[in-house]
Structures are given as structure tokens and as C-alpha cells.
Amino acid sequence: MRVASHDPVRERLVAAGAEFIERVMERNQILDRPDGSLRGRGCGLRVRSVEPVEGGPSRATMTFKGPRASGAFKSREELETDVGDAEVALALLQQIGFIVILSYEKRRESWRLGSCRVELDRPPMIGRYVEIEGPDEAAIQSVRETLGLGSAEVEGASYVRLLLRACNERGVTDRSLTLD
């Protein structure tokens, strides 16, 4: 859900007794085959590096996302594994024919509320978002209500789609997007 500010959501998280997890800076590398066949099937391949803002170890993951399933909230198969070095994973994928179609930074603040994880995200160019991941739609809806977001419009498009659209609308040809 897109929000004007994370501050009211953060205040409601604190008031609800949510557990703060971390603040990080992410670097996301989105890959596809040269023919665009992954995106054409509604799938995605990502290499992500994560740097905690308050210290702590860096980490990296590689993720495949399947096509979106039907339902009120966005849901899709996600296969993810830790990788020792994001740059090596990226180079390996490029050596077998994948290309980077988008690279972007994102600030993320993570919280746990009940059985859900709440992410306060700030990608470049497209605003601020709140993402709620949970075991089922009832748990997600309950957290939405607690955070005052029960009537907020759910954004169906992924950050990748939103960022590519913003680049196209603004004539941005460099698909390596940074914050600030």
C-alpha cells in the first residue's frame, strides 16, 4: 500500500507493541533472459544485497518469484536462498545468459506484529510503501486494520513494474536507480 508517510504507521506499530527488527539498505538486481521471457510469464529473478543501517552483518539472497496467484492480496510462489556474495551470484547468472534489466536501491524498516511481518519501504522515484506479509488474508487484514490501513488501496503491481513504468514515463534510460 502506498502511503504519504511512514511516521503514522510506525507510531501505530509502536502503540500495538510490534517488535522492531531492523533498518537496512537493499540493492536489488533484477534479471531476465534477453528475450524477456521471465517477465513475459509474470516471473522474476532477483539478487539482493542487504546492508543493516545500525551495523550487523551484510547478507545476500537470490530469489525466483513465480506468477501472481489470484486473490485479494498479492501472492506468488517464492523460492529464495542465501548466497555468500551477491556480486558472484550476479556474475554467475550473467555467465549463463541472464541480463540485468533493473537495479535499484531501497530503504526498508522491518517490524513483526503478531504473525505478520510489516515492511516500511522507500524505493526511488515511486514513493513510500507498507508491505504486510502473513500466513493468510485474515492475519494480513487484521494488521492492516490495527495500522489504520484497512481502507488503503492495495497496490497490485510489483516494485519492478512500478519502477519500470516510472522510468518509461519520465524518459529515464539508466535503469540503475539509487536513492538521493
Q: What is the pLDDT of residue 77?
A: 86
- Residue 158 lies inside a defined structural domain of this protein: yes
- Whether residue 177 lies inside any domain: the answer is no
Q: What's the pLDDT score for residue 51?
A: 95
Q: What's the CATH number where 82 sits?
A: 2.40.320.10
Does residue 110 fall inside a structural domain? yes
Is 180 within the bounds of a domain?
no
User: How would residue 123 be classed by pLDDT, with cut points 50, 70 and 90?
Assistant: very high
Is there a contact between 156 and 73 (Cβ–Cβ < 8 Å)? no
Any domain includes 145 = yes
pLDDT at 67: 87
pLDDT tens digits for 11-38? 999 999 999 999 999 999 999 999 999 9
Q: What is the pLDDT of residue 54?
A: 85
* Average per-residue pLDDT for the chain: 94
Residue 73 pLDDT = 66
Q: For the residues 170-177, what does the mean pLDDT come to?
A: 94
- Three-state SS across the chain? CEECCCHHHHHHHHHCCCEEEEEEEEEEEEEECCCCHHHHCCCEEEEEEEEECCCCCCEEEEEEEEEEECCCCCEEEEEEEEECCHHHHHHHHHHCCCEEEEEEEEEEEEEEECCEEEEEEECCCCCEEEEEECCCHHHHHHHHHHCCCCCCCCCCCCHHHHHHHHHHHHCCCCCEECCC
Domain annotation covers residue 57: yes
Q: Give the domain extent around 69.
A: 2-169
Q: Mean pLDDT, to the nearest integer, of 44-69? A: 92
Across 92-116, average pLDDT:
97
Can you tell me the mean pLDDT for 136-150? 95
Q: Which of 41-55, 58-72, 115-129, 153-167 has the lowest mean pLDDT?
A: 58-72
Q: Which residue has the higher pLDDT, 25 or 72?
A: 25
State pTM to two decimals. 0.90
Q: Is residue 175 part of a domain?
A: no
The count of structural domains within the chain is 1
Residue 157 resides in a domain:
yes
Average pLDDT over residues 115-128: 97
